[in-house]
A and B are shown apart, each in its own frame.
Chain A
Amino acid sequence: MSAATANRHLIQRLLVVVVAMFGFGFALVPIYEVMCQALGINGKTSGAAYEGVQVENEARTVRVQFLATNSADMVWEFRAKNDELLVHPGAVNEMLFIASNPSNRVMTAQAVPSIAPSVAASYFHKTECFCFTQQVLQPGQRIEMPVRFIVDRDLPEDVHHLTLAYTLFDITATKSPAAVAGR
């Protein structure tokens, strides 16, 4: 094998590595998603509505607190109707979040939920959530948005206290429904 051929073969193989690693950078995106879902990292909750039914455990009470936060440039008024609920694992609970659009234009918002502590994220099931869809509000419009949830009976014993935090993002400008589907 001549030197030129040897070089060409080697370069081809090395270029495959380069292209594969470029792809790997992008593959980290779904890998990260899967890892977050599997391990409950980052307090990410499942993007789909929970279909299961559980038996209420009245012997145990968990305090669930609600946080509503606007992202940096968001002008909506956004809050939870109550600061907290005392719930029994297994029971279906409901909390209302209130949003209003004080601006003079039609705006679209997306709420992104997060659970703290993050180990509890996979034990927090939403049967219905306004974060599954986007909200479009006319100027001055106000809505009450429900979230229904079940705290799993298998929630680790040392967790007595959960925080469900929503951050509301203005996505009027960059609205791309496909990118946020499944929330």
Chain B
Amino acid sequence: MSAVIDSTHKGHGHAGHDHHHGPAKGLMRWVLTTNHKDIGTMYLWFSFAMFLLGGSFAMVIRAELFQPGLQIVQPEFFNQMTTMHGLIMVFGAVMPAFVGLANWMVPLMIGAPDMALPRMNNFSFWLLPAAFAIMISTLFSDGGGPNFGWTFYAPLSTTYAPESVTYFIFAVHLMGISSIMGGINIIATVLNLRAPGMTLMKMPLFVWTWLITAFLLIAVMPVLAGCVTMMLMDIHFGTSFFSAAGGGDPVLFQHVFWFFGHPEVYIMILPAFGAVSAIIPAFSRKPLFGYTSMVYATSSIAFLSFIVWAHHMFVVGIPLVGELFFMYATMLIAVPTGVKVFNWAATMWQGSLTFETPMLFAVAFVILFTIGGFSGLMLAMAPADYQYQDTYFVVAHFHYVLVPGAIFGIFASVYYWLPKWTGNMYDETLGKLHFWLSFVGMNLAFFPMHFVGLAGMPRRIPDYNLQFADFNMVSSIGAFMFGATQLFFLFIVIKCIRGGKPAGDKPWDGAEGLEWTLPSPAPYHTFQTPPDVK
């Protein structure tokens, strides 16, 4: 490994004296940058801003649901809050955070000097603020913003939609273009820019899971674009894709949407699988158990994600054979997912475990994501789904896979790589406090939703029956706690950027990978000369 470090330092030093330079000064550095680290940083900050905004919408929802009856907002605005919370968290917070992590880490992990298509990289980032500015602006329009749920089912989103739906469609188009370009960029980087000796089966799992995620992105984001284009044509150009009056079918909308929507949920979780597969071995001081099976399990999950979409539609009236097929195909996903959970547990088995903040988040990820997986299995059973569908049980399920799944995966990654990005260690005590407050808040918020859901409380309704009152109050208290804790996370990150114990090249003794051969903070240009991978 020392040869790698030498060649890297030489390569970088040489470049520094030759024709390359550090970052430009001032604001235009960020507007014009093609540097993968700058763009990764911008993605991460953007995603955090959207996380706080989408989170504040969730606070409005939980404040209204604190007690039965209508206290704070009217139902129309409540609907806009549930819709925008979902849209912003999915497209504005989770997806850009993972793209940001990919921008920062994929080139460093495979020994590439930058992303393969740096200018396109800049464009795909800057489309996002434009898209979200358009979408958020609809909240201030006369008819209000999107109020049809993040799944925007027709005809709610066509015939009965507020005027602002056209802005929403345009914003989704922009996000889709951004994601597709991001996906193409990552595939090109991984396939064409690997250092000599970095064969596919030597790649870190984070790179593998992102490669597969990128293929999912370019396969399904165009379908979403087609879906909103059909909506646009129905609304403005007199077609009837989703309107029964003209020979269309609203159920078709759900098929098109969920053909995108189901792979989308794996787009939001596979990169977290990859990050956790880097973090757990580092803090277990053992290599990852079953690397090859992890790669195949991830590929299987990605493949299966294309043939299970109608499990979101068990009650719309699909034939019995269809329900059986989609039910069994969905349950089949538990097999590769089980392989992954087994491998993470086996990696920790008899390891020299320490529980720094990234590891705490990673272990919580494994446990709580598994709970979300189990409630997913319950929902996968078609006959039982007739009872659970459209209740808070569904809300509990997907928040368990997204909050301690995707978002804890992002937190774990940020704490794990923050020393590499900033050159400073974050405050470990504060990091652990952030973890425990998030862990307790998140479970308080979402666990009671299982109970009220099973008892029949419907989702997306601003009022509820008195019998659900106590659990909802607990949920709201947990949600406020989780939300406030994230401001604390912002403080921890800023504190780390401004100073702290110097990190050294490799702050975690069990960590593996090319990124730890670089100095901390990672220089502006890295791997100008490709490292030699043994």
Q: A28 with B219: in contact, given A18-B180, A176-B238 (CB under 8 Å)?
A: no
| A10–B249 CB distance below 8 A | no
**Is the pair B245, A112 in contact by a Cβ cutoff of 8 Å?**
yes
* A118 contact set on B, CB distance < 8 A: 317, 319
Q: Are B192 and A6 closer than 8 Å at their CB atoms?
A: yes
B192 / chain A contacts, CB cutoff of 8 Å: 3, 6-7, 10
In the bound complex, CA of A23 to CA of B219 (Å): 11
Q: B222 on the interface (CB 8 Å rule)?
A: yes
Is the CB–CB distance between B220 and A21 below 8 Å?
yes
Query: How many Å from the CB of B244 to the closest CB on chain A?
Result: 5
Is residue A169 within 8 Å, beta carbon to beta carbon, of the partner chain? yes
B247→A28 contact, CB < 8 A = no
B238 touches A25 (CB 8 A): no
B225 on interface, CB distance cutoff 8 Å:
yes
Contacts of A110 in B (CB 8 A): 245-246
The SS class assigned to the B binding surface is helix
Q: Do B116 and A14 touch across chains, with their CB atoms under 8 A apart?
A: no
Given contacts A18-B218, A21-B220, are A7 and B188 in contact (CB under 8 A)?
A: yes
- Residue-wise, chain B 178-207 has the 8 Å CB interface mask toward A (1 for contact) of 001001100110011100000000000000
1/0 contact string of A19-37 vs chain B (CB within 8 Å): 1011111101100100010
A179 lies within 8 A of B319 (CB)? no
Which of A7, A17, A24, A40 is B218 in contact with, Cβ under 8 Å?
A17
Binary CB contact string for chain A from 88 to 128 against chain B (1 if under 8 A, 0 otherwise): 00000000000000000000001010000011000000000
Question: What sequence of 0s and 1s flags, for each residue 71-85 of chain A, a beta carbon within 8 Å of any chain B beta carbon?
Answer: 110000000000000
Contacts A24-B223, A179-B240 given; does A41 touch B245 at CB 8 Å: no
Residue B456, interface by CB 8 Å: no
How many angstroms from the CA of A98 to the CA of B191 in the assembled complex?
66
User: Are B218 and A25 interface neighbours, CB within 8 A?
Assistant: no
Q: How many residues of B contact A (CB 8 A)?
A: 43
Interface status of B41 (Cβ within 8 A of chain A): no
B224 to chain A: which residues have CB within 8 Å? 25
Q: Is B322 an interface residue (CB 8 A)?
A: yes
Determine the chain A residues whose CB is within 8 A of the CB of B318 once the complex forms. Answer: 41
In the complex, the answer to whether A11 meets B246 with C-beta atoms within 8 Å is no
Q: Are B252 and A41 in contact (CB under 8 A)?
A: no
Q: Which of B206-245 contact A (CB under 8 A)?
A: 218-227, 229-230, 238-241, 243-245
Residues of B within 8 A of A (CB): 116-117, 159, 180, 183-184, 187-188, 191-193, 218-227, 229-230, 238-241, 243-247, 249, 251-252, 255-256, 259-260, 317-319, 322
Cross-chain pairs A/B with CB under 8 angstroms, 5 sampled = A21-B222, A24-B226, A26-B230, A29-B241, A29-B252
* 3 cross-chain pairs, A with B, having the tightest CB-CB distances, nearest first: A25-B226, A169-B245, A22-B222
Known: A22-B225, A36-B249, A176-B238. 20 other contacts (CB 8 A): A7-B188, A14-B184, A14-B188, A18-B218, A21-B218, A23-B226, A24-B226, A25-B256, A28-B223, A28-B252, A41-B317, A71-B244, A72-B159, A112-B245, A167-B244, A169-B246, A171-B246, A174-B246, A179-B238, A180-B240
